[in-house]
Structure 1
């Protein structure tokens, strides 16, 4: 091989590496766009089907239930900034359970589930309304889940509880705290248990497709070099403060502290910050960007156990005491190599999943009694029974 050919091959490898990195960078934005587009399409379809038969408040419930199919949910990689989107997608899977638990699709039941002024509402009637409000999409979700399960069995793929726990721990890292994570679950009507179930589906697809990915050591190194700072822990300080409404109050408290008064005691007695006063003013550890600029600048400038002067912010007047500090920690490549590899593999598997799902649906023999299109119009391998 001559020198020109060697340089050409090297350039091709660099271009390929750059292209993959761009896919990793924009993957989250593309997934969010897909989610928004499919949300709108499904909402329009459901409203069209049910809008004339249900009152306006019932349409609101349909909008709440309208969401992407489980196929889309399986394509979402729960990592980084997409974690909230993953939780939102997972939340809609619960509708499948609602319909299935009402009654089997081919059964019949006149059991009364409610009465209105002596008039019975039967389980059959409830089931029929649920079908109108998304039954076809729900059945398609169940078909997809069954296909994934069959493919996993054929590939001898299993997902353990430990795998699910580790994945959810990674999701939690993208939230500021456990409280924010739990609040997001609550926002979408989810529990930790339902998220665990949906995460298991996502991990199953990832494990099936992992042999088809081609993440290299060079790609892992490049990702580490470009994201080194965000992979570590930034500089943090721990501080306590006393907040009051006027500068005169703050000046008087500062004078007491300089004469030897106990900071925690004065914070409990005089601070107006309800979130910290009962803890003696302690705010715990925080990094840059967590506090308003004036407070942050003063806190980071102090030495441990040093008192600030009176610091004015939009919240009032503060006296700050720095109580501890943690230097920034940058992990080594070896410490983060496996975590990065998993993230890049998940991204590549995510990119492969749409074509893979279409392929396994095409080769499968599926009978769907709720499908409205003819076999020629629908997906290959799916038989619509009218």
Structure 2
């Protein structure tokens, strides 16, 4: 088990189960009826405890160990750090509304996610305090993964996407006659995600798009417009507005990023050993 779980492994089961372990839920409540026959809250609580209780309790115990160790080390996680991680999560889901939908679907809340982020970061910081990483280790990792840190060749491109060749040829003729590419994209492109932005696709690296599309796009000079390019999806007319050449990474420029990657790997490797050692140092009594 690794600790770099963030949202995905907030719990393998809904966060509310942790509350069940402490006896939340009124015994007189019911959660459903079948032909008027009640299924009681206590029945649900018992079923959830039987199925998930041990795992959730172990999680709570492990979290408590982390918190006690953090107190010893004087380690805390700031609200700003938690918010920054949460903002990244929002961005990865495409916005607050999309994230909220995911939370609702999993029975989670914004507050529970932030608490998970806090525990994730606290665990990471506590274990990191006992890990030494040498410059030699960082240099070796960098040399073995240098391509991951260099600047890939990129193009900034726009396209007009058509589903039939005849329309594509018609639009191509309009471009050659001097009509505006962006306006034609708005009028003709069937790629609704980009058409209103004049067909703008942003930065494209190799391996992101269809092979035929990329071959044509990377062959164009800055400011040039392609002819009709057929791909597996349909027909494109491509305009390249900028080109970014490939650039090899320099270790000193990315040293901090390399350190974070190596540290994350070391933490994941050592987490279970660290946790087992700490469990032996604390008196843990399960009722």
TM-score band, normalised by the shorter chain? Answer: 0.7 to 0.9
Q: Structure 2 CA distance, aligned partners of 1:335 and 1:297?
A: 31
2:10 — aligned with what?
A: 90
1:327 — aligned with what?
A: 245
Instruction: Tell me if the contact between 1:235 and 1:327 (Cα under 8 Å) persists in the aligned partners.
Output: yes
Say if 2:123 is the partner of 1:205: yes
Instruction: Tell me if the contact between 1:77 and 1:347 (Cα under 8 Å) persists in the aligned partners.
Output: no
Instruction: Tell me if the contact between 1:238 and 1:285 (Cα under 8 Å) persists in the aligned partners.
Output: yes
1:186 — aligned with what?
A: 102
Unaligned runs of 5+ in 2: none
Q: Which has the higher contact order (CA 8 A, sep 6+)?
A: 2
Say if 2:153 is the partner of 1:246: no
2:281 — aligned with what?
A: 363
1:238 alignment partner, SS class? strand
Which structure's residues are more often helix, by fraction?
1
Q: Structure 2 CA distance, aligned partners of 1:149 and 1:257?
A: 64
Map Cα deviations across residues 72-129 of structure 1 (whole Å, 9 max, x no partner). Answer: 4xx3336xxxxxxx5432242x53x423434734997333444444333333222112
Say if 2:50 is the partner of 1:132: yes
1:161 — aligned with what?
A: 79
Which of 44, 60, 63 is the matching residue for 1:145? 63
Q: Structure 2 CA distance, aligned partners of 1:166 and 1:269?
A: 40
Q: Structure 2 CA distance, aligned partners of 1:157 and 1:314?
A: 54
Say if 2:9 is the partner of 1:109: no
1:134 alignment partner, SS class? helix
Instruction: Tell me if the contact between 1:240 and 1:320 (Cα under 8 Å) persists in the aligned partners.
Output: yes
Which of 153, 175, 178 is the matching residue for 1:260? 178
1:295 — aligned with what?
A: 213
- TM-superposed CA distance for 1:194, in Å, is 4.2
- TM-superposed CA distance for 1:365, in Å, is 2.0
1:220 — aligned with what?
A: 138
Q: Output the aligned Cα RMSD.
A: 3.3
Q: Structure 2 CA distance, aligned partners of 1:191 and 1:325?
A: 43
Say if 1:283 and 1:346 are closer, same or farther in 2 by CA, change over 3 A: closer
TM-score normalized by the length of structure 1: 0.63
- TM-superposed CA distance for 1:327, in Å, is 3.1
Q: Structure 2 CA distance, aligned partners of 1:100 and 1:247?
A: 59
- TM-superposed CA distance for 1:342, in Å, is 2.6
- TM-superposed CA distance for 1:308, in Å, is 0.9
Q: Structure 2 CA distance, aligned partners of 1:246 and 1:221?
A: 52
1:307 — aligned with what?
A: 225
Q: Structure 2 CA distance, aligned partners of 1:293 and 1:134?
A: 47
Map Cα deviations across residues 107-158 of structure 1 (whole Å, 9 max, x no partner). Answer: 9733344444433333322211211221122222222222221122122221
Map Cα deviations across residues 328-364 of structure 1 (whole Å, 9 max, x no partner). Answer: 3545322321222232223223322212211222232
